[in-house]
Every structure is written in structure tokens, then in C-alpha cells.
Structure 1
């Protein structure tokens, strides 16, 4: 089974930049999208051969998630059933017979870490939500953190910036310590210089001054089923590129 995750930084804009062509090229069984920035009905997002599920933010043009799947899930859950977190469309969970697929767009801590306190609460509540589920989990999305120094081009300069603060990195460590595997690092523990997000400023993508903040994370019990994990750096259309997971399920 092949899964793809992509923060498209606005699905309507990405549709004008080759989204459907990239979608077909990647040929996923399940394709997860973050930062859709759209409400129901603002664009035709149906794709033949796939069921799709959209979770929009209450605030228009902001956040949002979307999942396409060839197989119809048993159940679909939006959010984590906590009012304070479920207004921004950041979470969709699909339940299948033997596992869950969850896409997540983690809140950004913003300039000067002004949303870090909220982010910390989100992380704790999200982990509690994951641990409440009764089947193995495949989690993907823009988790808005580069976990280790190897995961971004300029770690020293970004030590106290959003996405690489000690607090955010510690929350990722905590998540992984509860029985989860970062699939890309599991397969490629020492690979450097492969990133999934680049700022639009300073020709960052051209210089490959990027961050790896998009992930596939799976329950530890699935690690022997991981076949491949990729970061599709040549695919354009967003300030992020797609990441993939091929797993024997």
C-alpha cells in the first residue's frame, strides 16, 4: 500500500500549479493533504476512483485537511473531540479494519513563539488522542517541527525559532517514545540534505536551505512492514513537497 502526504499551501492555488498531474504521478492508495485553505464547495476536489473527506477550518482561507482514499473506511473522524482544537480543521482520522490512517496539520508556533503555549497543549492532547486508539496507526502530515539537527539546513541559527525550539523537539521525542517510528529516519538514519519545506524567501529552495517537517510516523508494531519512505523534492506546486510511505498492509 502506498500513501502520500502533501502540504499544498492552498489546494485552489495548487490545482493551478499541477496538483492533479502530481497526484496521478504519485499514484497513491491514500493521499493526504494539509493546509487546504478552502471551504466545502469552493473548488471541485473530487477525483475519480477515490473517496474524499474534507475538514475545513471555521476561519475561511485558513488551515484545513483533506484525505483521498481508494478504499472506503469503516469510520471517519474529524478533529480529536476537543472544542479548543477542532475549529481549525487540522485532523482527519480514517478507521480501517486493522489500522487507522490519520492526517495532521500541527499548529505553527509562529514568530517569537507566540503560539508555543497553545502548541504544547495541542501536542499533549494529540498524543492522548493517539494513545486512546485501539489499532495500529499510520500518522502523516505537516507536523511543523524539525526533530533533529540533521533535519534542517541551519540548525544553530534556528535554535529558538518556531519549528526548531527545544520545546517542540522535546514533544516529538515524547511522541516517538510512546511506541511510534519516524519512517524516513528509520530507513535513512544518516541521510542529510533532504528536506520537505523551503521558505519562499531568499531562494531557499534553489539553495536547498530547507527543513524536514513533513512525516509518516507509524506504530512500532508496523515497523517490519515498512518498505519505502521517500521525500519527493522535485515535485513543485507548494513550498512543501510530498512525502510517501510504502507499507505492506
Structure 2
């Protein structure tokens, strides 16, 4: 039986940790739309950001520090492209940048912070929508990513892998599974990889706690998709299977609109 706690109940205790993942589609753009105001109200313990599209010197970290966050950014070499970040109210024991694989690290796709026995990762999986070459890159990345985190799990067993995976796993995760069956992000080989990844020792926290909920985290800018809720669930907080008993709540915040994505929330013991 899943344990779902209200915000009021959670605030009475200090034994929980709230983690949010959010693809901001350009951190400077999101800041101009009120990102810090939302963050000051939401106050997660850890905020994982993807697609920051900025070099560290272009990011006004002082606005995050003013509301109590330590800031860690891992940018792509290419300006205005990709990039991940991790904001934390508590200073991590360790911050690890990248996976030691230049082809991915040059694109700023993986950032890890350790807090005691827990490791939180902000990860941005490649998109394959721009053509066959990037789709092939994405498929190789998926295998390399899985191998890397399985090896990491041996020394850091309690992993939380938050980010934009650019894959909808099941038909419930996408507004039109029939017409999107040949589109990157819902291809059979991508969905098959996701099934293998989960069976290798990871749990989709939102789906674990909400097996029948049809909610989305991304909407195209085209065709008024967000207003019509024609979306995709491609942003996840994945956890090591051994952490299932620590899952308290998971939610999606479609009303938060600084990006074409919205935040996904995980609360753990």
C-alpha cells in the first residue's frame, strides 16, 4: 500500500526529503518567468535542473543563494546547449561532474551529489528528434548510461536518478500512443530499453505510487498542446529498487509554467 502524505503532515516532520526535477529549457528564460519566486515558495531540499543552456558565468547564482541554495552547474562545451544543474539546501558530501566519457560529458549531461548514504543525480538524456544521427547517439547513450549507473550502484546503492529521459515508457505516458508510435521518444526500441533498465534494478517512483494516473511533464509548443493537455511523461525520478520502502509521495506540477516541461516531485524518507 502506498503511503501518501499531505503537505501539512510532511511539514510537521523533519525526516523526509523533497527532490524536484525540472527541465527548464533555458535557465535564463525560466528566471525571467519567475523561477526563483516559485522555488522560494516550493523550497525542495534538492532541485535537479536540465537543459540549462548556459555557461556557469552566465547564471546569476546569487538569486538562488539568496533563498538558501548551494549551486552546482555542469554545462556543455557548446554554448546555449544542454547542461544540467543541482541546487541543494544542504551542502553535499561530494559532487561528481560527468561520467568520465567525453562524448557525453562534453554535452553536460550527468551531475551527481552525495548526501550520506543517498546519491542524487541530475541527468539529461539526449533527444533523437533532430534526425537519424542523433537518434543513433541516443541509443548508444542509453546502453552506456545503464552500464555506468549499474556500476555506480555497487558503491552507491541508494541512487535517485532525476531528469529528462526523453522517453515515454508506456501508452499511459503519452496522449496519443498510436500516432506517436514511430516518433522519437516513443519508439519500440526506446520503450524496450526503458523496460530493461527498470528490470535491472530501478523503480519509476511516480508510476510505482500512481499506477493508473495519466499525467504528463512535457507539451509541444505547437497546436496549443499544453492547453489541450496533449502531453508526454518524459521526466522521471528513478530510484534504486532497494529504496521503494523509502518512497512517500510523487507528484507532477503541470500548473508550473516556466518551460515547455513541468516539475516532477519525489518525497522520500
The correspondence for 1:60, drawn from 72, 75, 79, is 79
2:189 is the counterpart of 1:171: no
Which residue is 2:252 aligned to? Answer: 231
What is the rounded CA distance, in whole Å, between the counterparts of 1:99 and 1:178 in structure 2? 19
Alpha-carbon displacement from aligned partner over 1:79-124 (angstroms, at most 9, x marks no partner) = 1101111111111011222021011010001245442211111111
The residue correspondences of 1:1-249 to structure 2 (distance < 5 A) are 1-46=17-62, 47=64, 48=66, 49-133=68-152, 134-135=155-156, 136-192=158-214, 194-248=215-269
Give aligned pairs, total: 247
| Runs of 4+ more than 2 Å apart | 111-114
Q: Distance in 2 between matches of 1:176 and 1:244?
A: 19
User: 3-state SS of the aligned residue for 1:204?
Assistant: coil
Superposed CA RMSD: 1.0
- TM-score under structure 2 normalisation? 0.89
| SS of residue matched to 1:57 | coil
* TM-score (ref. length: structure 1): 0.96
**More displaced, 197-206 or 36-45?**
36-45
Runs (5+) with no aligned partner, structure 2: 1-16
What is the deviation of 1:43?
Answer: 2.6
Secondary structure at the counterpart of residue 5 of structure 1: strand
Deviation, 1:25, is 2.2
| Higher helix content, 1 or 2 | 2
